[in-house]
Amino acid sequence: MRKITYLVPLLFILAFLKAQNSAVASSGPLRLASPDGAVRITFRLNADNAPVYSVAFHGQPVVKDSTLALEFRQGGTWGPGQEITGVRRDPHDETYPIIAGKSSTARDYYRQMIVALHETAGLRRKIELDFRAYNDGAAFRYYIPDQEQLRQFEILSERSQFCFPADLTCWAAQYGRFDTAQEKEFDRISLDRIEAGAIVGLPLTISLGGTTTVALTEANLRDYAGMYVEGVARQPHTLVTRLSPLPNGGGVAVRANAPHYTPWRVLMLGRTPGDLIESNIVLNLSDPCVLKDTSWIIPGKTVFPWWVNFKAKPPVPSVMNTENQKYYIDFAEEIHARYLEFEPPWYGPEMQAVRNPLSLDITRPIPELDMPEILSYGRQHGVGLIIWMQWRNMAKQMDDALALYEKWGARGIKCDFMNSDDQNMVNFYEEVTRKCAEHHLMVDFHGAYKPTGLRRTYPNLITREGVMGAEYNKAGNRVTSLHNVTLPFTRMLAGPMDYTPGGFRNVTPEQFSVNYDYPMVMSTRCQQLAMYVVYESPLMMVSDSPEAYRGAVGTDFIRQVPTSWDETRVLAGEVAEYVVIARRLGKDWYIGAMTNQTPRHLSLSLKPLGKGKWNSDVYQDGQEAGRTPTDVTHLPMKLRSDRPVQIDLAPGGGWAAHLMPQSK
């Protein structure tokens, strides 16, 4: 009897709270605030009983009333004509490990509101909207419960709107088509220049003035189509989602079975642009790690002989054969790189591998390569192979190839030329990553779409391209210092990017010319060094030839710099202007600074690094770096947290430092 006495009031309270939720749902707007109150999401039904949301940050409107809709083949548009049938609210606070990345842990700390909606007419479809408010962002997604009307469904389009308060400045990758490698500049334009019918990629970074920066992207993209945005006719400052269509799908973007979640639509928010770089919200919104053992996932630097067309110092031949690859294994050991990129033409001529891939076999090396000897030599020198292939070969030979590579003792694969993020390709990425994990192989996707957090679920997905990186210097002059300093505030917000830094043939834009075998870079030597700190990629390329590095100032910094970190702090920066990032591993800090073609003097506070004094190894632009970008001044410095450090950056310049705590 005593237990029943306590149970009755408890049941009464639960019933009362449920009734209160329903009453609030039907009587007015629903509100959700982040744990610190900075981010506020408001949800309501408009005059057409269509779902509408808005977002504010520190009291400033970020997204005004914006409608949410899905267009199904089964029953047409889901949007107007809804009733709210329930509201659930949940807090969450969890800290989890990051296997490789910009920090060793992340805090997943949010407030959640799930709104259940039911159409009042037609097919009477049921869909839930899931909202989360983080201290550094807002996110929402759709959930399609199991129901007779949508047990199997097809989505033609998703029409999630983002109505911004004004014609704001943004940095947009305007792809113009869906089947691309997402390798393009992020142009500085205004929102109203994004027209209906455009295909603009993510992340899309937007400035709301001096106090707020927002980046629009997506997270937890699984069994769904990749997201882009376009303008909305006769609705200024408004963007709406576009989905990558299925090939030969007759206008269908997604085919799936209920129950099913869409990816999260994410608004990263910060008081400064640098706040976005520090955020882990994309990982937080992704499914937790499913791998029980991750000890074999080891970040590190990798030598990239393809960038210099396998050039070697005579008498070693400058072609891909056994002797050449042993030469590069020696160099990898010399520069403390864990890996060697095993690039085309390892299983056949490169152009044939790219254009007619299924005519070749990714389990049969060319006769010029003695694989047992190369593999044995690599093991002796502590250098593992990252093996390249065209994706169609991987799709055809996946099981046999991955089993062989594991038998060889390879450490990873580099799968290339997918150039799509339709639902089928999204599922292919996950299949490759999952099966690679079964064979203890890391994954680097090239010709890839942006990251969406899958590396939290499968941390062997260690990096990917989806960026216009230094490979483009082999063919043209598009990779400028302006582009270089825009990337940390745009593409890199989504996750690691395989940019391939480390070019030591540094020239001014006026001196630049295309050289396929010995690529030039339009930045100072110090900017290339700074990239190893500024750019996030746990698998970081060492791209230039051994002869470019040997005896050169700056090589020791590349030799020492880590590729995965315990902590990241952005010390200063403005989108497309300059950036200064500090990253810590253990007790040591590394700092990288980069500028566009504008020379700068920066006075930087080191207080964000914590109280301390450091002996520092510093590489800074030399006095002639503006005219001779290879000019580097290398000197020791004593730095301390209570005294700003003074940095001078040449045009296209940089600054790199290794800070070691002073012994007491």
308-348 residue pLDDT tens = 999 999 999 999 999 999 999 999 999 999 999 999 999 99
Look at residue 20 in the predicted model and tell me its pLDDT: 41
What pLDDT sits at residue 664?
Answer: 66
Region 25-284: CATH code: 2.70.98.10
Concatenating the DSSP letter of every residue in 59-83 gives: TEEEEEEEE--EEETTTEEESSSEE
**Helix, strand, coil content of the chain in percent (nearest 5):** 25, 35, 40
The 3-state secondary structure of 483-496 reads HHHHHHHCHHHHCC
The Cα 443–Cα 211 span in angstroms is: 38
How far, in Å, are 306, 311, 516 from residue 319 at the CA level? 10, 7, 14
Q: Which two tokens stand for residue 406?
A: 């594991």
Predicted pLDDT at 432: 99
Of the candidates 237, 80, 223, 243, the one whose C-alpha atom is nearest the C-alpha of residue 159 is 243
Q: Is the peptide bond before 315 cis (omega within 30 degrees of 0)?
A: yes
The H or E element containing residue 276 is helix 273-278
For residue range 77-121, what is the model confidence (pLDDT) as tens digits? 999 999 999 999 999 999 999 999 999 999 999 999 999 999 999
Q: Which fold has domain 467-537+547-664?
A: TIM Barrel (3.20.20)
How far apart, in Å, are the Cα atoms of 252 and each of 123, 243, 300? 20, 9, 41
Q: Count the Cβ atoms, other than its own, within 10 Å of residue 122.
A: 12
> Where in the chain do CATH 3.20.20.70 domains reside?
298-466, 467-537+547-664
CATH 2.70.98.10 residue spans of the chain? 25-284
CATH of 298-466, one of 3.20.20.410, 3.20.20.70, 3.10.20.600, 1.20.1050.10: 3.20.20.70
Segments of the chain with pLDDT less than 50: 1-26
